[in-house]
Amino acid sequence: MTVLSILWFVSSIIFYIHKADHAALVSWIASAWNSELLILLLINLFYHTVIGLQEVIEDYVYHHYMKLFMIISIKFFFITIALASILAVLKMAV
């Protein structure tokens, strides 16, 4: 899933977005197919970021409470950023 969504995004940039202005980019995002795939890409990227950072914290932070605090903080931060990103895409799509 990750590879396919990244390939879709990169090919979209190469063939369409790099020549477009702001209005064309908004119309590209407003397309149902593109907005759905962009939302799935955002979810996938934020999910993998959280998993990677959690793994680093679990390996290198030794104090249990600090580890727990950092993992909860990172999850809260990235869920907030993911929701803001998804709402931005939905706002452009509507």
Q: Are 45 and 92 in contact (CB under 8 A)?
A: no
Local structure of 41: helix, strand or coil:
helix
Scanning the structure block, which residue is given the tokens 């869920």? 79
Which residues, 6+ apart, have CB-to-CB distance to 30 below 8 Å? Answer: 92, 93, 94
Mean pLDDT of 40-57: 95
Query: For 65-78, what is the mean pLDDT?
Result: 97
Tell me the per-residue pLDDT of 4-37, one tens digit each, with 9 for 90 and over.
888 888 888 777 767 778 888 888 888 888 899 8
80 or 30, higher pLDDT: 80
* Contact criterion met (CB below 8 Å) for 40 and 30: no
Q: The whole model's pTM is what?
A: 0.83
Over residues 29-47, the mean pLDDT reads 91
pLDDT of residue 46: 95
CA Rg value for the chain: 17
Write the pLDDT tens digit of every residue in 53-71.
Answer: 999 999 999 999 999 999 9
Cα 5 from chain centroid?
Answer: 11
Mean pLDDT of 41-64: 95
Q: Length of the chain, please?
A: 94
- How is domain 2-93 classified at the CATH fold level? 3 helical TM bundles of succinate and fumarate reductases (1.20.1300)
